[in-house]
């Protein structure tokens, strides 16, 4: 099951047209993944080195606009597992209206050194099997 995160769009996140400035969607995606992953307490307590991830690539398709005060629901799930990387998928909606679809590629790193590492099994189990979403590559 994907994780859902809700964000209320703030005035300062909107541009002169009154819609969310495009760069803020990446920040919303980051917030959604951070809340999800941290809620699972993925801190390496199962004997694995301290686990962390860094984003290496992001792609976004905008479908419609969000405006100040809108409640933006962001579904986030794993859409691909690799050995040292994985892809988060995102679908953002306001009510039933789709606003964006996106992908971010995360690289698994050691928390202290930031060196790439194999994604620990406990992380794979916690984040689950990939969801089948049509998101940009």
Using alpha carbons, select from 132, 128, 120 the residue that is nearest to residue 44: 120
- Residues 6 or more apart whose CB falls under 8 angstroms from that of 48 comprise 120, 122
| 71-81, strands of its sheet edge to edge | 3-8, 71-81, 85-94, 97-110, 51-62
In a domain, 107, yes or no: yes
Q: What is the pLDDT of residue 3?
A: 96
pTM (two decimals): 0.92
Q: What is the pLDDT of residue 2?
A: 87
CATH of the domain at 60: 3.10.129.10
In a domain, 136, yes or no: no
pLDDT at 45 exceeding the cut of 60: no
The pLDDT of 75-96, averaged and rounded, is 98
Quick check: is 112 in a domain? yes
What average pLDDT does the chain have? 93
Per-residue pLDDT, 42:
76
Q: What is the pLDDT of residue 47?
A: 45
Please give the tally of structural domains in the chain. Answer: 1
On the CB side of 24, how many CA atoms lie within 13 Å of its CA?
18
What does the pLDDT average to over 116-133?
Answer: 94
- Name the residue with higher pLDDT: 58 or 137: 58
């Amino acid at each position: 099951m994907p994780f859902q995160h809700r964000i209320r769009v703030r005035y300062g996140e909107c541009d002169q047209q009154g819609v969310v400035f495009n760069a803020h969607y990446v920040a919303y995606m980051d917030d959604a993944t951070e809340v999800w992953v941290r809620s699972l307490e993925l801190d390496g307590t199962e004997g694995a080195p301290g686990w962390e991830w860094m984003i290496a690539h992001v792609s976004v398709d905008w479908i419609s606009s969000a405006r100040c005060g809108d409640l933006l629901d962001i579904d986030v799930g794993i859409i691909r597992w690799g050995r040292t990387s994985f892809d988060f998928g995102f679908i953002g909606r306001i009510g039933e209206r789709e606003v964006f679809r996106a992908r971010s590629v995360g690289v698994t790193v050691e928390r202290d050194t930031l060196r790439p590492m194999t994604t620990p099994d406990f992380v794979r189990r916690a984040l689950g099997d990939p969801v089948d979403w049509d998101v940009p590559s």
